[in-house]
Structure 1
Amino acid sequence: MIDVDQAIDQSYQQASEVETVARRLEARIEQIPGAKGFLPGRKYGTPVNFKAIQENLTLATLISRSDAALAHYCGLDASVKHRIDEQREVQNMRAEALRMQTEQLAARNRQARQDREARQSLASWQRGYRSV
């Protein structure tokens, strides 16, 4: 038979371990901007209520958008973060393509300006104009 004191100590140890895990999870969720106020309340020694997190649309969306691994751990759709990252990458690629096009157009404009200035410095008979 287990001694009562040992049972009490084991029970407290288990509750402490659960509390440690729950606090770490809550701390990771609190690092997400705006998520701190939406965490569900809980008693000491009880695990984080994932069902409450899933039912809170604001908190679930904040977690899904910021941390794919945490979203998966909480039972949320982890693909949201991946889609957002893909969209950002596509936007960055578009911006880079536009920047390159702008640089090419600027180079063409500089060359055209230099050609015009060179023609302007020539005499009228060298430019191919008739002076009658």
Structure 2
Amino acid sequence: MSCGNPFGETIYSYSRAQAIEDGVLVDLSQADSIRQHWKYPFACTSAVWAIIEGALQQPGQDVSGICHDISTMAKLAIRSATDPELVRFSVIITGRTHALKLHIGPGDTAAPVLTLMLPYED
């Protein structure tokens, strides 16, 4: 009996780096407001990015301000979360309430990463 992988050979894997390169995830780690709130890499799904891009069409909106609002509401939700790895919260962006969830877990390596997504996304 072999002591190798009990699940067998990996058929297919899709890395976070590939997802960012493909546009499935959008890396927000370099946004000033994200760097001020989070010490780990931070990305959102393309669906969340579409909400942010839509908000940017409104006067007075910018990525930094929207990311600050999202980060503030996420941190408030983390404080009372029963599962610190997956936090559900709502945020108002340009007068509309959006339900979001933030997953905190390992990325392509064991290092933690944050992924912001809509409630129905994985």
TM above 0.5: no
Q: Which has the higher strand share?
A: 2
Larger Rg: 1
Which fold has the larger relative contact order, with Cα–Cα distance below 8 Å and residues 6 or more apart in sequence?
2
User: TM-score scaled to structure 1, two decimals?
Assistant: 0.28
